[in-house]
């Protein structure tokens, strides 16, 4: 079945969902996006994703034609049009059709696209065995450049890192910030358990404020773990008891090896496994209902 796509207040078939080549999203990567998941008929953390979307747009002075409440309805409507219960939802807002030349004043209306699709799940063996990943040369761009808190259409920094990971046969890339501290992965935030505490880099390290990151921090506290946002280095990472990544695509996924160093026992650690279990319970039972 062809997907139904929301584009500028209409829902059309995939074949008819077209964006102009003069859209500045295409010409300059000028725009913002969100990646959202629905589980079991509910959209997980929808309000949080919408809030981050509007914050990204505000910072780049991109006007969204819909109010947040209308955006929420448009997202739900798109999922319903595709009759999905479990979904991956991509909301993309680009600067809109302009002229050649990067001045956004030339673009009168932003373009809104919502895609709701089936999710391709990660191989379950990754959750049982854990990932073996590597650090890459490309550094995460810092907040003094395009702030990583903006979920912008300009992902080349992370794509460069992903290419380097591919060259090293690594399924994800650990990116350091310009000072050499661990920042995040190309599409996931990173956590370590060190001396029995859960540590993750602070937002000021130059990272996306991941929504699953916040969920993992909350779940860890409920499990009695002390949670700290603190800078750490590869040395800390190599010597951590446990490591895991969080993100919309990967959810919570264990890491058992970094740059050839075994992490902890070399198997997903007990805290990580508990957080994964709690995370699954939460995604299956909470969120905004899609169908009345």
Q: Quick one: 94 or 248, whose CB is closer to ligand PXG? A: 248
Candidate ranges 95-103, 127-135, 183-191, 266-274; the one touching ligand PXG (CB under 6 A): 183-191
**Least gap, CB of 188 to ligand PXG (angstroms):** 5
Rounded (10°) CA dihedral 271, 273, 275, 278: -140
* 63 given a catalytic annotation: no
Q: Which of 56, 135, 170, 189 binds ligand PXG (CB under 6 A)?
A: 189
Does position 187 bind ligand PXG by CB under 6 A? Answer: yes
Instruction: Give me the residue whose beta carbon is nearest to ligand PXG.
Output: 35
Rounded (10°) CA dihedral 15, 18, 37, 197: 140
Q: Give, as ranges, the residues between 211 and 230 that touch ligand PXG (CB under 6 A).
A: 211-213
Q: What's phi and psi for 288, nearest 5 deg? A: -85, 120
Helix (H) or strand (E) holding 180: none
Candidate ranges 56-64, 103-111, 180-188, 230-238; the one touching ligand PXG (CB under 6 A): 180-188
Rg over CA atoms, the chain: 19
E-state strands within the chain: 4-7, 10-13, 31-39, 42-43, 87-94, 111-117, 131-135, 173-176, 182-185, 189-194, 197-200, 226-229, 242-247, 251-258, 261-262, 288-289
Does position 158 bind ligand PXG by CB under 6 A? Answer: yes
Burial class of 101 by CB neighbour count within 10 A (0 to 12, 13 to 18, 19+)? exposed
Q: Quick one: 88 or 271, whose CB is closer to ligand PXG? A: 88
Q: What's phi and psi for 192, nearest 5 deg? A: -130, 150
Candidate ranges 6-14, 19-27, 128-136, 182-190; the one touching ligand PXG (CB under 6 A): 182-190
Q: Quick one: 98 or 177, whose CB is closer to ligand PXG? A: 177
Does position 160 bind ligand PXG by CB under 6 A? Answer: no
Give me the catalytic one of 4, 45, 134, 151: 151
The residues assigned a catalytic role are: 151
């Amino acid at each position: 079945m062809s997907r139904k796509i929301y584009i500028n207040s209409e829902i059309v078939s995939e074949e008819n969902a077209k964006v102009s080549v003069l859209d500045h999203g295409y010409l300059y990567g000028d725009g913002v996006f969100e990646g959202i998941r629905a589980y079991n008929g509910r959209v997980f953390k929808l309000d949080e994703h919408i809030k981050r979307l509007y914050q990204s747009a505000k910072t780049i002075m991109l006007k969204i034609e819909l109010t947040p409440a209308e955006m929420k309805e448009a997202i739900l409507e798109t999922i319903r049009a595709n009759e999905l219960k479990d979904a991956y939802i991509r909301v993309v807002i680009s600067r809109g059709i302009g002229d050649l030349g990067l001045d956004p004043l030339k673009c009168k209306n932003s373009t809104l696209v919502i895609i709701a699709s089936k999710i391709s799940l990660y191989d379950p063996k990754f959750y049982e065995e854990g990932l073996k990943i590597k650090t890459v040369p490309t550094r995460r761009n810092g907040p003094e450049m395009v702030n990583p808190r903006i979920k912008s259409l300009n992902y080349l920094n992370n794509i460069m890192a992903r290419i380097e990971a591919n060259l090293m046969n690594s399924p994800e890339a650990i990116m350091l910030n310009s000072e050499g501290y661990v920042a995040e992965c190309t599409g996931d935030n990173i956590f370590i358990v060190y001396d029995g505490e859960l540590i993750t880099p602070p937002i000021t390290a130059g990272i996306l404020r991941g929504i699953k990151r916040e969920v993992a921090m909350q779940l860890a506290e409920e499990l009695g773990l002390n949670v700290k946002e603190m800078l750490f280095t590869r040395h800390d990472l190599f010597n951590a008891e446990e490591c895991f990544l969080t993100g919309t695509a990967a959810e919570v996924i264990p890491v058992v090896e970094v740059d050839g160093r075994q992490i902890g026992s070399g198997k997903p650690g007990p805290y990580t496994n508990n957080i994964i279990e709690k995370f699954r319970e939460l995604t299956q039972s909470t969120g905004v209902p899609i169908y009345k």
